[in-house]
Structure 1
Amino acid sequence: METLLNLMASVALLVWGTHIVRTGILRVFGANLRRFLSRSVATRPSAFLSGLAVTALVQSSSATALIASSFVAQGLIALGPALVIMLGADVGTALMALVLSLDLRWISPIFIFFGVVFFLSRKNTRAGQLGRVAIGLGLILLALQLVNQATAPITQAQGVKVIFASLSGDMLLDILIGAVFTILSWSSLAMVLLSASLTASGVITVPEGMALVLGSNIGSGILALLVNLRTPGEGRRVAVGNLIFKAVGCVIFLFGMQYAIRVISNFDLDPGRQVLHFHVLFNLTIAVLFFFLTDKVAALVTRFVPGVASNVAQVEPRHLDSGALGTPALALANAARETLRIGDLIEQMLNGMLKVIKTDDKALVDQMIRLDDDVDRLYTAVKLYLTQISREALDERDGRRWTEIMQLTINLEHVGDILEGTFQALRDKKIGQRLQFSQEGMKELEEMHEKLIENLRLGLSVFLNGDLKSAQMLIAEKEQFRDLERKYSGTHLDRLSGQSVQSIETSSLHLDIISDMRRINSFFCSTAYPILEQAGQLRSSRLRSGMSTGVFAAAVPVPAANPTPAEAENGSHPPRHREAL
């Protein structure tokens, strides 16, 4: 009994380690991974490699399936490319199982030690979360050692052998057992590694271990379907298509098991590694078989799997009339109207940010993050619409307007990305750790937020009307906002020196938020530069002094005309504060 308990504890530690790695990677790189996947579907090879790379990082094909399904549900990518991503994801998890099976006992304590040090000392930073990932990797390697130690007595215990003999021997039963254990552990990677360890210890035979691997792949497909049960629209079709891949592969290898064993045994005699090679061979075979058939599978799934109506309202373009493309002035007006809609979404996200700060509403965080997907959708639509307007048919004035619209949509899309990161930080740090800002800190955030909303509205007004005086006011507001950020960074440091407990706990988050607000404000204010340049009030690096309105008493440094987002963000800004402060 003690032996079985040790084995169960080792398996539990293995599952927990894979969970820690998956959640840690998603917390650090979640937004970047989503963006990487969404931009990698231009070709089949790039989609396949992106799925492989993302799954190798998060060590969960189910997590990759959830991301790909959300993209399909939102209409950002088609079903066919999403299925190619899943083919790469399955190969990625198979390769990671092979890597983790190597004799890495020496590195396990190093991962755990340094991971704990980084996580405890810098918990709220990216380095701290990477320390969490290192802990997970160390636990996976440690758990594999414990599994090997726990299974050693099993090979000598006749009673335990009888138990395992009753669970195996029938191929279909073994596949079912592998699928059930995969679903219960919520990790096909853990099940594959466990199967390899049991085979290497002689508890089960190589054919039985391979059957468990087939079951783990079926279980992985079912898991992907389970995690996508709440995915709106067409997203769950990704999981159905992926399950079809695995089911066809299981049928093929069920009848070709003996041939696969002979092929694998020719270049590796170790029983445990034969099971892992079988796992890689299984997923590579599926990838090769379906690589050029994903569109046909997508059509089949679309035909027989009805779409489920989305519970989440999606924002779609309203004003981008393709019939107006032949009239550049009208097309530009349509694009400008759609860009203003993006500005409205950004204002919703800003208002949602302040509400989350005050109420710790986790559901609102998810809703606001989904709004960034709407921003991305409209941004893509406006960008593609503008590229269809013939540049040769534009006169000088329309050419400038084309550039202004394109630049503002790019800036607003960057603002959406910044806000998405802010919401994730609020969810993980403030809500997750139940932190509260000090009363003074909250007042500062509210004041900066109010000015940010005002500058957004003023910036959109400048974009719409091209008023010179409003553009000058916007630049003045940019300088005042920058001064306000410096002031409140200083008052926050004063509260830290006064040993305010709330300020100490929220220091990193507070400084990051006001720094993000300053970056966002710079994007809003960059709308003024084309107007000032056209009026001749911009030099290469400074505004002309002595403006007729008297807004500026002296020349004020500004970025170059039509600055890039990086220039608008960086400029002469002070360095961003870190937690060490």
Structure 2
Amino acid sequence: MYISSSNTKGRYIIGIGTLFIAFTPLVAWAASSTSDSLDWFKMTMELFGGLALFLFGMEQMSAALKAAAGDQMKNLLSKLTTNRFSAALSGAAVTSIIQSSSVTTVLVVGFVSAGLMTLSQSIGVIMGSNIGTTITAQIVAFKVEKAALLMIALGFAMLFLSKKEKVQHYGNVLMGLGLIFFGMGIMSEGMSPLRSYEPFINLMTSMERPLYGILVAALFTALVQSSSATTGIVIVMASQGFISLPAGIALAFGANIGTCVTALLASIGKPTEAKRAAAIHIIFNIVGVLLWLLFIPQLAVLVTYVSPVAANLSGTEKLAAEVPRQIANAHTIFNVANTLIFIAFTAQFGRLVERLIPDKTTPKKAIIKPLYLDNDLLETPALALDMVRRELAHLASIVDAMLAKTGDAFRERDARKFDEIAKMDDQADILHAEITDYIRKLTLQNLTEQENENMMRYLSINEDLERIGDVIETNLVEVGKEAVRLKLKATETERTILSQLYYQLREVLSTTQTITQNDDELAAQNILHMKDNINQLVREAIQMQAKRLKQEGAENIDVTHMENELMDSMKRIYSLSKRIAKLSLPKKLFQEPD
């Protein structure tokens, strides 16, 4: 069973605590001032107990969906850079799984920072993410509380009787959905006596004032940092006839504004691209609400026309039957309409936030920072692992650049270039440590079997890349500095055979970078196939050395020692690259021993 992260649990505890603080004075006052027979203690326990089940069910369902659809989310988000409309659809699809437009925005920031998409292209994804958050409201509005316990039982059976991980994930989804409806039923039952309680009815009626309703929903959403939770609770209250359609629409609008707080908090201390993405999210949501603020009555008429009608009911029962679906439809129509209206102006949005948040003119610090690792993605392991893979490619590119500079330094016998390589290894060490720490944090999450395998594979690749950097910095650089100090000239062996070996190794590291970037199995096989060529070059170098020693004797023993050190180091680099290649291949595809 999935357990919420401490961050999510903290948000929900704050939200429930806030409701408790707000509701307790009303209970105390009502209990002392009314002469009716309402059981306030029972009502309070049912309200908060049901709310706890409702919120836990939401988190359970979301976590299971993330695990079940992790690879699909990753693949979907990797194809966003061509069309703003497909970007909006992809943003909606991913957010409907994650149930957090803020997490989608954070992910988009990573792509923009890495140059994988432009800011204007990312705007479509951010707009589409608002549509994805309406899915929960649509699910909750179905009002199938009577099937809740059956869903929990079926989900439990799938979880504990099946050995297939995929079936277990969908069992968790079903259990989460059942808990949502079961919590709804308990809350509805707990609040039903309030239908005849005048002060509470007056309080709910005040929500029809748009600004008041928007403010209340925005504050609650800012506390729990989930617009889906807010709209779900609004629909539950509407199912008891407490909230009219105009009030429900105002509360849904407020939830859209309140969720901007999450994006704002996530951008604090982040790069300029993160602040711009958060600004787009905030501007889009607030402008969208302001655009519709005066048209709430017209929107109410529209959703009444397109929503089911309970013709055989009247009064509060009619409201309870019709308004939940109407609010869910209004929430969806509002977000879809805003996306269609504003998506034509993505370029203008981009230019606006670039003016509001200009690029920093301060020089960049020399210390390297990860390009992709973001703690906000840890709660979505499939996407966090994808960022780890991209950061490994970043590390591989630095190691490849180190080897490239090593060749130049040897050809020119330039001591300064050897010192520069040592500094580049410091950058590689920093990235290695950052990746290791990020993976450590990832181990605290609920990982699928496949995700756990990928995590361990990436951890091994991280170690091997760091070792390659150390071989270059410790062995090759030291040999090079010694060659400079002793003023050793390049021999024919170094100029021909070892030069060929070096360029073969450059191809190996370039291919290793491709493996880490794309999980490319063909590239991994190519590295394994290079073994014969590399061994042949080593043999030729040794034969040329032996021939030279016969002719010259031991007078150039320092040169021979240098060449042997070079060959040993390059063979070590190939061996480590080969290990990375094997980690990226199914075991059945190779039988070649280390």
TM-score, with length taken from structure 2:
0.57
Contact 1:314 1:374 in 2 (8 A): no
CA distance in 1, matches of 2:461, 2:105: 39
Instruction: Verify: 1:302 aligned to 2:354, yes or no.
Output: yes
Offset of residue 44 of structure 1 = 1.3
The equivalent residue for 2:82 is 42
Distance of 1:98 and 1:70 partners within structure 2:
30
Matched residue type, 1:177: V
Q: What's the CA shift string for 1:297-350, capped at 9, x where partnerless? A: 011011112457899966799xxxxxxxxxxxxxxxxxxxxxxxxxxx9xxx9x
SS at match of 1:202: coil
Change (3 A) 1:208 1:316: closer
- Give the stretch that moved more between structures: 110-119 or 253-262: 110-119
Q: Structure 2 unaligned segments of length 5 or more: list them.
A: 1-39, 310-321, 374-378, 399-432, 448-458, 477-496, 509-515, 538-580
Aligned with residue 281 of structure 1, among 323, 328, 333: 333
Equivalent-residue separation in structure 2 for 1:168 and 1:424 (angstroms):
45
Structure 2 partner of 1:271: 323
* Number of equivalences: 416
Distance 1:228 1:451 in 2: 33
Give yes or no for contact 1:526–1:568 (8 Å, CA) kept in 2. Answer: no
Q: Which is further off, 140-149 or 85-94?
A: 140-149
Report the RMSD for the aligned CA atoms in angstroms: 5.3
Query: How far does residue 53 in structure 1 lie from its aligned partner after superposition?
Result: 0.8
Q: How has the CA–CA distance of structure 1 residues 144 and 316 changed in structure 2, closer, same or farther, with 3 Å as cutoff?
A: closer
Listed as ranges, the matches of 1:193-208 within 5 Å are: 193-208=232-247
After superposition, give the CA deviation of every residue in 1:2-60 in whole Å (9 maximum; x if it has no partner). Answer: 32442233233322222233334445555763453133222112211110110111222
- The answer (yes or no) to whether the contact 2:92–2:131 under 8 Å persists in 1 is yes
Q: Which range is displaced more, 168-177 or 134-143?
A: 134-143
Q: Does 2:585 align with 1:572?
A: no
**SS of equivalent residue, structure 1 residue 231:** coil
1:149 paired residue number: 189
Residue 486 (structure 2) aligns with: none
Query: Aligned partners of 1:68 and 1:60: how far apart in 2?
Result: 13
Would the alpha carbon gap of residues 448 and 8 (structure 1) be closer, same or farther in structure 2, given more than 3 Å must change? closer
Q: Which amino acid aligns with 1:288?
A: L
Structure 1 residues 421-430 or 150-159, which shifts more? Answer: 421-430
Distance 1:380 1:314, change over 3 A: same
1:94 corresponds in structure 2 to: 134
Partner of 1:179: 218
Question: What residue identity is the alignment partner of 1:45?
Answer: F
Mark the CA change 1:74 to 1:522 in structure 2 (over 3 Å): closer, same or farther.
closer
**In the alignment, which residue of structure 1 is the partner of 2:529?**
529
Asked if the contact 1:48/1:88 (under 8 Å) is kept, the reply is yes
Determine the structure 2 residue equivalent to 1:247.
Answer: 286
Contact 1:10 1:146 in 2 (8 A): yes
**2 CA distance for matches of 1:148 and 1:21?**
21
Query: Which structure has the bigger radius of gyration?
Result: 2
Question: How far did residue 182 of structure 1 move?
Answer: 1.3
The answer to whether the Cα contact below 8 Å between 1:22 and 1:60 also exists between their aligned partners in 2 is no
Post-superposition CA distance 1:135-168 (Å, at most 9, x none) = 3222222222233323322212234324434x52
In structure 1, the gaps of 5 or more residues are: 318-344, 350-361, 382-418, 434-445, 475-515, 538-564, 576-581
Matching residue's letter, 2:585:
E
Normalised by the length of structure 1, the TM-score is 0.58
CA contact under 8 A between 2:148 and 2:181: conserved in structure 1? yes
User: Does the CA-based 8 Å contact 1:73-1:231 persist in structure 2?
Assistant: no
- Equivalent residues of 1:455, 1:521 under 8 A apart: no
Deviations 1:174-215 (A, max 9, x none): 110011111222211121122223223221221111111110
CA offset digits 1:109-131 (Å, max 9, x no partner):
34433444565678996655554
Tell me how far apart the structure 1 counterparts of residues 193 and 365 of structure 2 sit (CA, whole Å): 53
Superposed counterparts of 1:96-495, under 5 Å? 96-105=136-145, 107-117=147-157, 128-165=168-205, 167-268=206-307, 269=309, 270-306=322-358, 372-376=389-393, 427=441, 429=443, 467=501
User: Which residue does 2:572 correspond to in 1?
Assistant: none
Moved more, 308-317 or 246-255: 308-317
CA distance in 2, matches of 1:52, 1:530: 45
Cα offset, 1:283, TM superposition: 0.5
Q: Structure 1 residue 263: deviation in Å?
A: 1.9
- Indicate the structure with greater helix content: 2
SS class of match (1:569): coil
What is the CA–CA distance in structure 2 between the aligned matches of 1:141 and 1:32, rounded to whole Å? 27
Does the Cα contact within 8 Å between 1:175 and 1:215 map onto a contact in 2?
Answer: yes
Which residue of structure 1 aligns with residue 564 of structure 2? none
Question: CA contact under 8 A between 2:50 and 2:183: conserved in structure 1?
Answer: yes
Distance (Å, rounded) in 2 between the aligned partners of 1:313 and 1:199:
55
Q: Tell me how far apart the structure 1 counterparts of residues 590 and 145 of structure 2 sit (CA, whole Å).
A: 46
Question: 1:7 is matched with which residue?
Answer: 47
- Deviation of 1:85 (Å): 0.4
Preserved CA contact (<8 Å) 1:369 1:423: no
Give me the whole-angstrom Cα distance separating, in 1, the residues matched to 2:469 and 2:365: 30
Q: Distance in 1 between matches of 2:117 and 2:103?
A: 17
Instruction: Give the distance between the partners of 1:118 and 1:49, measured in 2 at CA.
Output: 31
Q: Is the 8 A contact 2:152 2:179 kept in 1?
A: yes
- Which residue type is aligned with residue 254 of structure 2? G
Residue identity opposite 1:82 in structure 2:
S
Give the partner amino acid of 2:232. L
Task: Report the identity percentage.
Answer: 22
